[in-house]
Amino acid sequence: MIVDDILSRLLYRDALVLVIDKPAGLPVHPGPKGGETLTQHLDALRFGLPRRPEAAHRLDRDTSGCLALGRHAKALARLNALFARGQAEKTYWALVEGGPSEETGEIDLPLMRRSDDPRSWWMKTDPAGDPSLTRWRVMGRDPAAGRTWLALTPVTGRTHQLRVHCAAMGWPILGDPIYGSAPRQGGPGLQLHARALALPLYPKKPAITVEAPAPGHMREGLRGCGMGEG
């Protein structure tokens, strides 16, 4: 990834917040295995401020789409509070194997880590876990390919929530090597995209609403389910 690329991925900018379209495959923060991260490129988004912006919420390495950045410490604190209180509305697009028979619904399944190892982020459904709620809506279907296009709204924000919830319902997200059937190497890439973000950041103004275009690795599948251009 190069500086020109991250600038081209800027979706929204004001005095407090930036929203970018994070590419799939790029982690936000450094991990134990090293490698390139989004954080390494954030100086290009200072726009004259003394410090780089910082991510206000999590987005998995293999998930593309809307990521909010606080432009300074006070802005970051305000954004963090929105996400902590569940006031930031996130909508994801996913292509799943099979799919639900209904058109709308919700998944209310508690989640917890599979392992006590603090380095492990793999999750499982468990009655003893943290309450976790996902709402879903069918956007389109491709019966020939055996897949469905879903809009997913996580009401809670647990690690891997959407991936585990979809898998638990019997329709795992395509390209998921952990909770689905995709191979660990050489798969199609996780078919999960943070499509939209609504941030009620200013009390006397409407929420900031931002959409990220469908990523290249999902467009063919989305079109098969009826998506037009976008």
Q: How far apart are CA 150 and CA 99, in angstroms?
A: 9
Taking the CA atoms of 95, 98, 104 and 108 in sequence, report the sign of the dihedral they define: negative
Whole-angstrom distance, CA of residue 147 vs CA of residue 151: 13
Q: Are strands 123-125 and 64-70 parallel, antiparallel or unpaired?
A: unpaired
What's the CA gap between 177 and 84, in Å, rounded? 29
SS3 assignment, position 195: strand
Query: Which of these is catalytic: 21, 43, 60, 126?
Result: 60
Query: Across 59-162, where does the E strand assignment appear?
Result: 64-70, 89-97, 104-108, 111-113, 123-125, 133-142, 147-154
Query: Is 142 among the catalytic positions?
Result: no
- CA 68 – CA 225 distance, rounded (Å): 28
Q: Where are the alpha helices (DSSP H) in the chain?
A: 3-8, 73-84, 161-168, 216-224
Residues 6+ apart with CB under 8 A from 123: 111, 112, 113, 114, 158, 159, 160, 161, 164
Which active-site residues does the annotation give?
60
